[in-house]
Structure 1
Amino acid sequence: MAEPGRSQSKADYVYDSLLREIRTAEIPGGTPLRAAAVAERLGVSITPVREALRRLERDGLISYERHHGATVIDLSDEALSEFYSVRAAIEGLGARLAAARITREQLDELWQSHASMVEDERRGRHELLGEQSRQLHLAVTEIGGPAFLGAHARSVRNSYPVPPGASLWLDPAHAKNNLNVHERMLRALQVGDGNTAERIMVEHVQFSSDYRLGRRGPC
């Protein structure tokens, strides 16, 4: 684990470390977080750990129970469905607004990101695609809503981790389909068609919801 940078407080370092581990499901839902153990593992005192845990509680990522301490939240199917519904609303609106304000430079950067994903998919590097997709979605939303939507989209994304084995991007057929969807959305942004960009984004996110809920259900 990397040590905190010179410009980063110890509390920020602990928060960022735990946030990354929770978001990537290195620390899965239902895992207890003992402040003393976290402090020892990250090489800090217990004070910044407690501050970081309070921030994670405000983020809705951990909960406190009497006599049990902090535990990483394991969302129910109902909560997971709500998570994707919120994502669809925010990211869909971001795509619609982005179509009206995107610059040539921003569009070129999105196409470059898409081209990188296409190349990774062609080479079978599916494990890289999930994070790249996340960044592309956030970039579109931040272009559409730089004042509020972008920050909200990032916060919502951070509020629920996607376990590495649950990503659609690991399935070659789904990966190709997702790339086609991304291309269609970028083309809608390119011609300034906000309604189409929003519809594509909403359907794209809702498909992810159906996939995740199906994976959690009975086989």
Structure 2
Amino acid sequence: MTSLEELASPIRRTSLAEEVYETLLEAICGGQLAGGTKISAVALAEKLNVSRTPVIEALRRLENDGLIEASTGKQARIVEVSRDEISQIYQMRQILEGAAAEAAARRMPREALDDLEARAQDLDAGRKRLDWTERALAFDLTFHDVIAGASGNERLRADIGRYRLLVRSFCRMSGTRENLEQAFAEHLKILEAIKSRKPAAARRAMVEHIASRLDSVLQDVVDHQAETKERS
């Protein structure tokens, strides 16, 4: 019979693999690891001061995400995160999160709606705070996760989480005060549609919101990657 002590070790390895994955993901999406760069599990393990196992797991996930290509031997190659690739990621978000918003408008519990509205009101009231942008980014994470959860479909929620993880670095790079103000206004429109129990309007508002965020990201991220290449 398996004991709890025996289960603890794989959980730690999974957590470490997640940290390695997120570290590499941010480096790739942020342009620090440029397209075409060859990397090895051994070199990465030494650089990150971890064993090869979590690195290999992280590289396997990145390959599934289409961000690296396995090559012969023990090396992999970074895939260029192009405008088309970014657009495709956001198109998937529109499909998934549009469906989640539609479902949430039908079934989100009143207490969850009240809590999300209270968080929005608190963020709105604190616009003059010096840490408003950080709080707006945190609200964005909560907002999308709550709606995904309210869909009632755990597989949908998991896929939304995966794609939002892929765009996390993009969100940080394009997280100017102006962009966050606009995104917050779009959040309020989505919230109003969900609160009014209008599924079609909620889906439409979410799709439009993600399209608007894509426009900002394509401008800011592509410019950032070009600057990174010039410095390298």
The aligned counterpart of 2:189 is 184
Correspondence list, 1:1-219, <5 A: 6=8, 9-25=11-27, 28-30=32-34, 32-66=38-72, 69-118=75-124, 121-125=127-131, 126-163=133-170, 166-167=173-174, 169-170=175-176, 172-215=177-220, 216=222
Matching residue's letter, 2:212: F
Percent identity at matched positions? 28
Residue 127 to residue 34, structure 1, CA distance change in 2 (3 Å): farther
Report the Cα distance in structure 2 between the residues aligned to 1:151 and 1:115, rounded to whole angstroms. Answer: 28
TM-score of the superposition, structure 1-length normalised?
0.80
What's the offset of the Cα at 1:95?
Answer: 0.5
What's the offset of the Cα at 1:111?
Answer: 1.9
1:133-167 deviation line (CA, Å, top 9, x unaligned)? 13311221221142321111112222345246622
> Is contact 2:41–2:74 with CA below 8 Å preserved after alignment?
no
What's the offset of the Cα at 1:189?
Answer: 1.0
Secondary structure at the counterpart of residue 117 of structure 2: helix
> Is contact 2:106–2:199 with CA below 8 Å preserved after alignment?
yes
Larger Rg: 2
TM-score of the superposition, structure 2-length normalised?
0.76
Question: Which sections of structure 1, spanning at least 5 residues, go unmatched?
Answer: 1-5
What's the offset of the Cα at 1:203?
Answer: 0.5
1:69-97 deviation line (CA, Å, top 9, x unaligned)? 12444321111111111111111111011
Residue 117 to residue 65, structure 1, CA distance change in 2 (3 Å): farther
Question: Which sections of structure 2, spanning at least 5 residues, go unmatched?
Answer: 1-7, 227-232
